[in-house]
Structure 1
Amino acid sequence: MISANPNSVIDYIREAYLRYYDSAFWMRDPKVMEERRKILLADGVMSRNPLIEAIPQYPSTDPIEDVCKRAGLDTFVAQHLARVVFGSTGPVKLRRHQAQSLETATKGSASGARNVVVTSGTGSGKTESFLLPLLASLLQERKDGAGLGTLNRWWAKEYGPNDTQWRHSRTSSGNQVVSAVRALGIYSGNRCSILAGIPALLSARHSRHPQPSMRLPARG
């Protein structure tokens, strides 16, 4: 294929399968072969016609450093968050609903709301909307010293008969990470993502049954 588009790709794949059927299940009667080909080419039998969805533009407007600052996060978080989420070491701007999600889930709104619902179309960045606050809180937790300490190199140790219990690599740390569910993410289809219960290492508030308290529709 010199130039590919959705129609040419599906036609190419269909023809590849038809050639396989014709060679692996060859029949002497050409009319039977032709009848089988017509049946296989019917929509929904061997394949479906392509469904093309137009996706609107969602502009990136908010520098991630500014958003982290407004959310009360350390510069350490801003420096690493873009690399962790987007794989980028350069300047990154967030879409408006992503920035609102990070600020609200981390710092809270004026009324104290911290649980977020984001509703938007395909390709708008809903996944990042719940990953950003979650990973930002984990980075802040690490910056505050949780989990740091002497590394127990268990993989390089020779165990003897008195070593009856395995210890993980941070067992000797003086400031352990508290075992807990950090967040609850609900991803319903391709239209809505919910983030509830960002951990109390950034806020002492807990909710046994967190309810979405802010709805952020994505805007193009």
Structure 2
Amino acid sequence: MARLDPIKTTNTVVSRYLDYLATTFSFNDDNLKEQFKKELEEFEGFVKGPILEATPPFESGRSINNLIEEGILSREFYRLSTGELPLERNLYVHQEIAIRKLVSNRRNLIIATGTGSGKTESFLIPILNYLFRQKEEGKLTPGVRALLLYPMNALANDQLKRLRGLLKNYPYITFGSYTGETEYEEKKAVERFKKMNPGDEPLSNEILSRERMHKSPPHILLTNYAMLEYLLLRPEDNVFFDGEYAKDWKFIVIDEIHIYTGAKGIELAILLRRLKDRIVKSRKGILQCIGTSATLVGNTDKDFKKVTEFARKLFDEKFEWVENDPMRHDVVIGKKKSLVISKESWGKPKSLLYQKWADIIDEGEKDKISLLVKEGKNFGIPTDVLKNALNNCNGKWEKFLYLILQKDERLITLQNMLENRPCYLSQAAEELFGRKKIESNIWLHWCIWLIMLEWELMNSLYCQLGIICL
């Protein structure tokens, strides 16, 4: 079974780096060479880690289905018919909050949640909902409704793939990317698409070429801020900002908003003012402005106020953070579940058990549970604890591990250590096993590997490998 081995990975990285140093700064004298190699091996400043961090999942909220039944979201979501956006799956609480604020309260918003927290859904669902409502009212004519601004083409291309999956069964909403990579002629654009996406056919609602965009601008336009500058200057691109197709602008979304500080921030702020002058005659309150970031804010009211002030200056629109008034909180952060830490413990087994158990699982034996029980008895797990796990695991060794480990004294101690902050694996090993550093690290390594294997505890304790070579 393939597994993450933090100790082996760390040692491999360090060993290769030391070999590089020993080879690069080699001595002709064998004695000096050996002394240098010994000093390198004994010096501990080349690596920090592995680092253990508990990362509980985000709190769950209501589903898209629930929001449709409430009347907040359009029933057109049912017509997407795609697994890319499961309507029955619960959203995260921060996604639900963002959707309600953008759809019901018409707020401008900074979505400052972590990587992998679903920031895209937080703004894309409201944008799709707006387009659905326009379709229901017979107002979904060609023209940009939402501008998604990315710092790099690679991020814009990732979003394009997401939109293809979402809108493949809904041809009424159009989308397209206008960057330096976008071909002018439709034929060349199609050829490029097929080259970049072998085996795939272009969707009818993805506008691939500049030529086609000029004739019929997409509802969702993706670009970067450098290209936006060109679009505002060139007469042939006036169709996006002037005339009959430029009357329905609604959203401006800036991804990775935290990078726009200093001179770059000033440039973007001016660029956005020029854009707003073209599309809404600089009137405030017409557009909804959204910024996303995984690394923007702290956790205090003072931090949130600074963020809203930054957003206000950047977009030149109203952003607020008023204490004790959730309706005027224009920063959305992720809310994570608390670690589930048992208050009771059956004790702790002999240290070698964790490696024995890992070997059983790694060897691929069919009757894993019987072997796990046998070794558990040999290494100090109470009989009643083993019996209870055996009777309630439903024949699944992963659940058997969970039922044992959830009340293991060492695991409870580790969870308490990680509840507030990350720590080095060596620190945790010394705390849990109190033996020689090498032995402790190995035992903790096996212990963590078991945690990562079992099926339920991963929701409350996750081992994140952090190796920083200095």
Q: TM-score, normalised by structure 2?
A: 0.32
Following TM superposition, by how much is the alpha carbon of 1:64 offset from its aligned partner in structure 2, in angstroms?
Answer: 1.8
* 1:12 equivalent in structure 2: 12
1:181-219 residue CA offsets vs partner (Å, 9 max, x unmatched)? 6424264447569797xxxxxxxxxx9331031377725
Following TM superposition, by how much is the alpha carbon of 1:65 offset from its aligned partner in structure 2, in angstroms?
Answer: 2.6
**What letter matches 1:8 in structure 2?**
K
Structure with a larger share of its residues in helix: 2
Structure 1 position 100 matched with structure 2 position 93? no
Of 121, 126, 138, 1:132 maps to: 121
Which structure has the larger Rg over C-alpha atoms? 2
Q: Distance in 2 between matches of 1:88 and 1:9?
A: 36
Following TM superposition, by how much is the alpha carbon of 1:96 offset from its aligned partner in structure 2, in angstroms?
Answer: 2.6
Structure 1 position 209 matched with structure 2 position 338? no
**CA gap 1:82/1:9 in 2 versus in 1, 3 angstroms:** farther
**CA gap 1:219/1:209 in 2 versus in 1, 3 angstroms:** same
* 1:166 equivalent in structure 2: 236
1:73-101 residue CA offsets vs partner (Å, 9 max, x unmatched)? 22335665987xxx446743212332133
Q: Distance in 2 between matches of 1:123 and 1:186?
A: 11
* 1:67 equivalent in structure 2: 67
User: Contact 1:148–1:173 at 8 Å: present in 2 too?
Assistant: no
**Pairs aligned (count):** 187
Following TM superposition, by how much is the alpha carbon of 1:115 offset from its aligned partner in structure 2, in angstroms?
Answer: 5.8
**What residue ranges of structure 1 are gaps of 5+ in the alignment?**
158-163, 197-206
* 1:218 equivalent in structure 2: 335
Following TM superposition, by how much is the alpha carbon of 1:141 offset from its aligned partner in structure 2, in angstroms?
Answer: 3.8
* 1:32 equivalent in structure 2: 36
Q: TM-score, normalised by structure 1?
A: 0.59
**What letter matches 2:93 in structure 1?**
R
How many percent identity over aligned positions? Answer: 12
Moved more, 67-76 or 48-57: 67-76
RMSD: 4.5
Following TM superposition, by how much is the alpha carbon of 1:137 offset from its aligned partner in structure 2, in angstroms?
Answer: 3.2
* 2:55 equivalent in structure 1: 55
**CA gap 1:142/1:3 in 2 versus in 1, 3 angstroms:** closer
* 2:185 equivalent in structure 1: 155
**What letter matches 1:155 in structure 2?**
E
**What residue ranges of structure 2 are gaps of 5+ in the alignment?**
144-173, 175-182, 187-210, 212-233, 250-278, 281-286, 309-315, 322-327, 338-470
